[in-house]
Amino acid sequence: MNRGSLGNSGGRADAGITDPERMDVETLFASRQQIVNMEYTKLGRSDLVVSRIGFGCEQLGGFDWGEVDTDSVILAVHRALEIGINFFDTADVYGLGRSEEMLAHALGPQRKDVVIATKFGVNWRTKRNSRRALTFLDCSPRRVTEALEGSLRRLKIDCIPLYQIHWPDAKTSIGSTLNALTRCQREGKIRYIGCSNFPLGLLVEAVGYCSMSSAQFLYNLIDRTAENDVLPFCKERNVSVLIYGALAHGLLTGKYVPGTKFPANDRRSRLSIFTPGGLADRYPVIKRLQDVASRYEMTPTQVAIRWILENPAISCVITGVKTAEQIEENVGALGWQLSQRDRESMTGVAGTMPEGSSSVESKNA
């Protein structure tokens, strides 16, 4: 992998460095080569080369994840740059624009060298005297233009490397949405187009209109719905698959036990998998992850991510991050392999779990 493929992205995690404009790219490029052998992949038929571990930026929005120390997330962005991560995924609705603004600040001048992916399609109206907003799906041509201009302004870039439809909008034909996106592409404001959360039928229709570089899906050890249809289709059509929800909101880290309480401002307080019964039902999977992790001297987090990375249909795992330590742990999923026996063992136990979504992609803001 040559330096151009890495995008020359850099950053410092040193506590004394607070201004991202002062990042020393040459020094950091050399240092990160000593830290990790990052793995990269090309997205679909595009010329975008991205790290196989992506940085999920929803936490930079500072909302719906409990108490979030934004400064710690910014330091995590710097650490990610140091260890070779060059792919950052956000959305306009995360924090009602705040995630994009904070990502631009954290990346500093490197925002023009890394691969930033953002999303649109969940519009919002603010509520009086409330931190929450009323959200609704909107992929209309008018919203395409409006949302794109807002994201460009907040991210402080002239062209978005990967612009994704966040959720399909049943009120708007996919053709009109994609026509609007391809117009923006011709204007030089978008390099490549992707989608997220598309069912197979809509995905088939979408690739008939334009070249779709990527498709993003929820997928993890306890929610393997994507295996049924969209993963095989994307592999056949050379649409790169980006995965979110790899750790099922942290459930697969093994940190949470029946009785764990989450504050009201943490979405996990609203998810059935984190009820005492939901955690108890899924304990066999967590226990198997812990057993496998101990044999490899890895953590359950690393094993859960590794299990996904070894699926040949998957290009990149986007991991939500709050701290530098978390991104370092996630990157530890690279550079080794699970035995076939261990893969089958984990998959087999997961197959006995009760059905139910571990969805982490809230449309609430």
Q: Which residues are tagged catalytic? A: 94
User: Residue 74 is encoded by which pair of tokens?
Assistant: 């910014």
Give the helix ranges, DSSP H, for 265-320: 276-281, 283-296, 300-309
**Positive or negative, the Cα torsion across 38, 41, 42, 44?**
negative
User: Is residue 239 within 8 Å of residue 207, measured between CB atoms?
Assistant: yes
Lookup result for tokens 């409990």: 66
Q: How many CB atoms lie within 10 A of CB 307?
A: 23
Strands 214-218 and 190-196 come out as parallel
Q: How many helices (H) and strands (E) does the chain have?
A: 13, 12
Cα separation of 126 and 150, whole Å?
A: 16
What count of Cα atoms within 13 Å lies in the side-chain half-sphere of residue 263?
Answer: 7
Q: Which of 145, 124, 131, 99 is nearest to 363 (CA)?
A: 124
User: How many angstroms separate the Cα of 145 from the Cα of each of 75, 155, 162, 166, 189?
Assistant: 32, 15, 15, 15, 10
User: How many angstroms separate the Cα of 32 from the Cα of each of 79, 153, 283?
Assistant: 10, 30, 37
Q: Which of 189, 200, 182, 289 is nearest to 239 (CA)?
A: 200
User: How many angstroms separate the Cα of 325 from the Cα of each of 45, 170, 331?
Assistant: 34, 40, 10
Strands 115-120 and 87-89 come out as parallel
User: Is residue 6 within 8 Å of residue 29, measured between CB atoms?
Assistant: yes
Lookup result for tokens 């995590």: 76
